[in-house]
Structure 1
Amino acid sequence: MSRWLKCLAVVLTLSLALGACSRVGLAYRNLDVIIPWTLSDYLDMNGEQKGWFNERLKEHLSWHCTTQLPGYLDWLDRLQAMVETNQVTDAALQTRTREAKQAIAQTAREITPSAIELLQGLNDKQVAEMNDAFAKDQRKRQHDYLKPSLDQQIKERGERMEKRLNDWLGPLSPTQQQRVVAWSNALGDQNTQWIANRAHWQKQFSAAVAQRQSPEFPQRIETLLVNRESLWTADYRKAYANTEAQARSLFVDLMAESTPTQRERLLKKIEGVRKDFNDLKCLKAAQQS
């Protein structure tokens, strides 16, 4: 999933890594963020591939900025209105989440042909390096998120969430802090399903790339990039549904307990995201045309 687009869902649920997208404009200008996964983390591209890749990304970036960003501004308007009118409900959050997912899928569909073309041009050495990078990624995540005891996983997850919330809402009250602890407990061993599903996806991706010259390859990659949910494990499907429900419940409860100062801070943060969008030259050009 695109890192900066994920930022939109993050603003909504406050359940993902906000630190990586505190400045949307800065992230948006990093060209490799509009693809469903960060290729630079897994591929060592040669000069010709990098040149082609960057030119194609510029085209996608222009398309995205001129055709998609105006809709995100409207989305932020709806999010802001929810906070201003104190209408942060589970139903409203489900709607905002559905809209964000649709936006992510639309971008994934747009860039998939370029991803297919690039992957088809990889040599065997690059594919082997990609697979090694996947294995390294799995080992690191297992070490960081599964090696600690379950109690420690729950504790660290709560601490990460409180840190993100402090950025968006300011210091939490004792009641809000306890709600975050309850949220983290409710997710239980979610890390296990998350990492297992990630490895499952990477394994399927590697298998597809191994057959990158086959007639079925484009369709397989489109499924892997655009319809990822269809390939989830049964355990992760359940865990993800619970994760989304728990995130919405947490946000609803935190906003119900929020102070005027916290809501004002949140609105300013949303306004900051809007300003980052509006400051993009490509969006200004689209609005003037």
Structure 2
Amino acid sequence: MDACLSTLFRCLSLLVLSTLLLVGCNRMDLAYRNLDVLVPWSLSDYLSMNRQQKGWLDERLKAHLAWHCRTQLPGYLTWLGDIRQMVAHNEVTDAQLRLRTEQAKQAIAEVADQIMPSATQLLRGMDDEQVSDMREAFAEDIREREAKYVKTPLARQIEQRQQRMEKRLTPWLGELNPQQRLRVAQWSQALGEQNRQWIANRAHWQAQFTAAMEQRRSEAFEPRLEQLLKQRESLWTPEYRMAYQRTEQEARSLLVDLMAQSSEQQRQHLQGRLAKVQQDFSKLKCLQS
């Protein structure tokens, strides 16, 4: 995600991300139960909220989480069941992954619609000093990411990308076999200079968000904010748009190949992990009530 408020989108839509098979979170149930604690900390990376703003946000988050669990989570459990069936019937294909991705994007869009009024109200209330602090935090964010992901030799970037992916995959598939590790290495190599394009696009978005915040008292602010937070793709740089399409295709291709190369033991392990996630969420108190 490319924004302070989009962190909230990402957290609230945690269950529906189409890359669920690649996420290294072992305790999603715990994360979900504590989103009202985690989200303000994420926001504070960019926004220096005062006590009144934090209190208001806490109450809004509780309301959003109650809505999310009541109206969205049952559909996510069905989605997880569909993923399990896809794996069980050996139907991890490009077409199936495209379908699951579109379902995930639609679910995320519904969450964005729900929290948009809260995002608008919170950001309208920021004073000039807070906006200045946000601008500095954005700049520091880009400097840190460039240092970590761009200013290292490309060969090292590719190696680190491979390592991160293997770390994400292992909890879901177990130890990768040599053929799978080779495939991950090929995937990482194929993405090339993706880090540079991703961070350049991030900086581009942050500049536009900062410009919008300078107009937060005007009538044009809300539609502009909606575009920034809900229609981010419309504001991507041309270079990143092409890179993202390639990245999405490479990710699907990677998953298809890894499952084709998987052992029966790995598939059983994956089924067990998916079943555990589904079971954990089905036991959430907000669903039981």
TM-score, with length taken from structure 2: 0.93
Q: Which residue is equivalent to 1:57?
A: 61
Distance (Å, rounded) in 2 between the aligned partners of 1:157 and 1:184? 6
Q: CA deviation at 1:269?
A: 1.3
Q: Does 1:193 align with 2:197?
A: yes
Q: Does 1:74 align with 2:85?
A: no
Distance (Å, rounded) in 1 between the aligned partners of 2:21 and 2:238? 23
Q: CA deviation at 1:24?
A: 1.4
Q: Does 1:229 align with 2:236?
A: no
Q: Does 1:3 align with 2:3?
A: no
User: Larger deviation: 270-279 or 107-116?
Assistant: 270-279
Any residues of structure 2 matched to 1:213-228 within 5 Å, and which?
213-228=217-232
Contact 1:44 1:126 in 2 (8 A): yes
Residue segments in structure 2 that go unaligned for 5+ positions in a row: 1-5
Q: Which residue is equivalent to 2:279?
A: 275
Letter in 1 for 2:179: T
Match of 1:172 among 176, 179, 201: 176
Contact 1:13 1:247 in 2 (8 A): no
Q: CA deviation at 1:9?
A: 2.2
User: Larger deviation: 24-33 or 52-61?
Assistant: 24-33
Contact 1:13 1:248 in 2 (8 A): no
Contact 1:183 1:250 in 2 (8 A): yes
Contact 1:27 1:33 in 2 (8 A): no
Residue segments in structure 1 that go unaligned for 5+ positions in a row: none
Q: Which residue is equivalent to 1:115?
A: 119
When the two structures are aligned, how many residues end up with a matched partner?
A: 281
Identity of matched residues, %: 57
Q: CA deviation at 1:7?
A: 5.3
Q: Which residue is equivalent to 1:43?
A: 47
RMSD: 1.8
Q: Which residue is equivalent to 1:212?
A: 216
Q: CA deviation at 1:273?
A: 1.6
TM-score, with length taken from structure 1: 0.93
Any residues of structure 2 matched to 1:24-173 within 5 Å, and which?
24-32=28-36, 38-173=42-177
Contact 2:15 2:76 in 1 (8 A): no
Contact 2:205 2:236 in 1 (8 A): yes
| Residues 85-130 of structure 1: per-residue CA shift (max 9 Å, x gap) | 0010000000001111111111011101101001011111111111
| Residues 188-235 of structure 1: per-residue CA shift (max 9 Å, x gap) | 101111111111111111111111001100101111111111111111
Contact 2:18 2:104 in 1 (8 A): no
Distance (Å, rounded) in 2 between the aligned partners of 1:191 and 1:204? 20
Contact 1:168 1:266 in 2 (8 A): yes
Contact 1:31 1:54 in 2 (8 A): no
Distance (Å, rounded) in 2 between the aligned partners of 1:203 and 1:113? 22
Distance (Å, rounded) in 2 between the aligned partners of 1:167 and 1:12? 12
Q: CA deviation at 1:12?
A: 3.9
